[in-house]
A = this chain, B = another copy of it.
Amino acid sequence: METNQEKLSFASDYMRGAHPAVMQALVETNMEKTGGYGLDPYCHEAAVRIRAAMKSPTAEVMFLTGGTQTNAVAIEGLLDDYQGVVCAATGHINTHEAGAIEAAGHKVLPIPHRNGKISAKKLREYLSDFSEDETHFHMVMPGLVYISQPTEYGTLYSLKDLKAIRKVCNEFGIRLYLDGARLAYALACSKNDVTLKDIADLCDAFYIGGTKCGALFGEALVTPNPDEIPHLFTRVKRQGALLAKGRVLGVQFSTLFTDDLYETIGLPAVREADRIRAALKEKGYELCFDSPTNQIFFVMENEKLKEFGAKVEYSFWEKYDESHTVIRLATDWAATAEETDQLIALL
């Protein structure tokens, strides 16, 4: 994933710095002195704005520096020692977080998925089988469901999907956590019908991704009912996740939640991704996973890929067959029609 300024880059959505408004706010506040560890006016202001955007007035909002870290803190906070977390086999915590959940002593319990999504039906089957197994007290008890929105495959849960999953969680007395690393790209998508308020209403905890959505870095962990994770501050510190200059995160999220910036920041990314998908279809490429967000997955013939890769940075996804590969392109909040045009010309 090394980047070369000579090439077009569609490798991922964290290749640039911060949205200009975010960077400007950091510059403007730079020489102020404020308190540390998130106990400053900017973190306070950011939390107020996020609570307003979610219409969740008593939620706790805590700012952390990255997604794996945030998942680790939240999931350890939501689980009891002997419990595990259920997720799609493709869930980021199951595949690309270097065992951070297991490092905290918890088993990840993968279940089947479709395009990166789990269904209420499969979840119910899994939880029923567990409860009915005569030896289930020798097994890791599912205590939490992890989902991501958008998923690792760029797909979206509908409001109906989420409500059905929540219902199953309630039936079995387990919790629901949502990883929103790319949440802005869901919110910017015309096919999306799930609002921030819906997420706050349906999840026990979730995070609003900053790193991939316009911040220099940072994620906002939200617990609509703060009692769900008591002593969160100390937990964050214990994970090594508490930034001394916490206000650096507060300044960024305060800006992202001013004038609906977060809800709209993903629009250029989705618009350009749609154009790329349309061009791919037109040129006869096979699209995968039916992602409507800022990630585009498709099949390219290996010979063509060599040529393409010399000019465009992309992500290898998986081998398709001996002579074809699934690759991923990603657009970001700073996507331009010009870059898209250049890319399409190379397809």
By a beta-carbon cutoff of 8 Å, the part of chain A in contact with chain B is 1-3, 5, 9, 11-12, 14-18, 20, 23, 26-27, 29-37, 39-40, 65-73, 76-77, 80-82, 84, 95-100, 102-108, 134-135, 137-141, 211-212, 216-217, 230-231, 233-235, 237-245, 248, 316, 334
Pair A33/B9 contact, Cβ less than 8 Å: yes
B248, A217: Cβ atoms under 8 Å? yes
Copies in the complex: 4
Chain B nearest CB from A38 CB (Å) reads 11
Identify the closest chain B residue to A82 (Cβ).
Answer: B234
Chain B residues positioned under 8 Å from A231 (CB to CB) = 80, 82, 137, 141
Q: Is the CB of A3 within 8 A of B245?
A: no
Residues of B within 8 A of A76 (CB): 81
CA distance A237 to B141 in the complex (A): 12
Q: A98-B138, A98-B140 are in contact. List 16 more A-B contacts (CB 8 A).
A: A3-B34, A15-B34, A16-B33, A17-B32, A66-B240, A66-B242, A73-B240, A80-B231, A82-B234, A84-B99, A99-B105, A100-B238, A102-B102, A104-B105, A137-B234, A217-B244
Instruction: Report the Cα distance A179→B31, complex, angstroms.
Output: 26
Is the CB–CB distance between B35 and A16 below 8 Å? no
Q: How far is the CA of A139 from the CA of B98 in the complex (A)?
A: 4
Q: Is the CB of B106 within 8 A of A105?
A: no
Does A244 lie within 8 Å of B100, measured CB to CB?
Answer: no
> Bound complex: CA of A32 vs CA of B23, how far in Å?
13
Q: Are B12 and A32 in contact (CB under 8 A)?
A: no
* Nearest CB of chain B from residue A296's CB, rounded to whole Å: 17
**Docked-complex contact A36 and B65, CB < 8 angstroms:** no
Q: A80-B230, A231-B80, A334-B31 are in contact. Are A97 and B141 (CB under 8 A)?
A: no
Pair B100/A240 contact, Cβ less than 8 Å: yes
A80–B235 Cα distance when bound, in Å, is 10
Residue of B nearest to A244 (CB): B14
Which residues of chain B are near A72, meaning CB under 8 Å?
A: 240
The answer to whether B35 touches A100, judged by C-beta atoms less than 8 angstroms apart, is no
With A29-B17, A106-B102 known as contacts, the answer to whether A217 contacts B243 (CB < 8 A) is: yes
Most buried by B among A135, A238, A243: A238
The reply to whether A239 and B65 form a contact with Cβ atoms under 8 Å apart is no
- In angstroms, how far is the closest chain B Cβ from the Cβ of A166? 23
User: Which of A70, A99, A230 has the most C-beta atoms of chain B within 10 angstroms of its own C-beta?
Assistant: A99
| CB–CB A68/B134 < 8 A | no
